[in-house]
Amino acid sequence: MKIAVVGATGMVGNVMLEVLAERNFPLTELLVVASDKSIGKKLNYKNKEYGVIGLEQAVNEKPDIAIFSAGGETSKKWAPKFAAVGTTVIDNSSAWRMDETKKLIVPEINANILTKEDKIIPNPNCSTVQLVMALAPLHKKYGIKRLVISTYQSITGTGVKAVKQLENEENGVKGKMAYHYPIYQNAIPHCDVFEENGYTKEEMKLVRETQKILNDKTIAVTATAVRIPVVGGHSESVNIEFENDFDETAIRKLLHETDGVIVQDNTDINSYPMPIYAKGKDAVFVGRIRRDLSQPKTLNMWIVSDNLRKGAATNAVQIAEYLMENELVKP
């Protein structure tokens, strides 16, 4: 099984290599791929050094699976080229997510819809992945009518330059700015670019991708996305209005039984999810589960997950594992 990691030198690419190693992914050949400026750079995988190669060479190598984390423009240009030589592409960018011919996959929820013909498989946005992991079982049982979401997102979602900006500001060093404003001791209600409707692209991803993954366009969704000076992961405050009423104990039990979800919800001992504990873990943590007292059939939850792991690298690797286990891709 020949695997290519495209964008291997980036923040998510590095985590992808870590996840592949941790999960003992059964690859027989690894290609680490990046832009021309990184060709020849050495990366470590399982205590072995691999030289970075360019995209053209990677296509010629005809890998069985290529996991992309190299940005939307790269994906638009190169994913079809890989698919044309028989490679199955799992893409972390937003390039293909809302393409009606592509399936947006979170393995625990909807991997069963994949077929051998799916040669470009989009990975959802990081904030959407953790959200739907908690929502999917609840929607199935109670029917979600409306969602009001506020996100508190890690700077790692922006990349290395944002991490460097925070470090510089903490240390009083002037440097390049990833954001329009300082992020240290600040909260910026601006993730990605603004669309004509006044919402940011990140906020609209939560709307559109949630409806697509849960396969229900009737769910009303509104979101506000905020960038905060945190490294460990994204946090989300979610208000859920259901079609049918619920019991809070049953909600906790259902989430506890959901693969990939950990319920951390005991206010007697101040137990609730936080990014500092989610960092480096693959689970989605859910807590502060309580009924909305202002209207019927409505619930509040707090959802936290490492955006570089389950929100990106781990979800992509899980898709690759599913493809192999179900013989949807063969060496």
* Residue 176 to residue 86: CA distance in whole angstroms: 41
Q: Which of 139, 180, 234, 256 is catalytic?
A: 234
What is the number of other CB atoms lying within 10 angstroms of the CB of residue 259? 10
**Number of other CB atoms surrounding residue 165 within 10 Å:** 22
Residue 234 appears among annotated catalytic residues: yes
**Active-site residue 126, yes or no?**
yes
Q: Which of 126, 139, 180, 190 is catalytic?
A: 126
Cβ atoms of 296 and 303 closer than 8 Å = no
Tokens of 111: 């991997």
CA distance 293 to 89: 46
Among all residues, which ones are annotated catalytic?
A: 126, 234
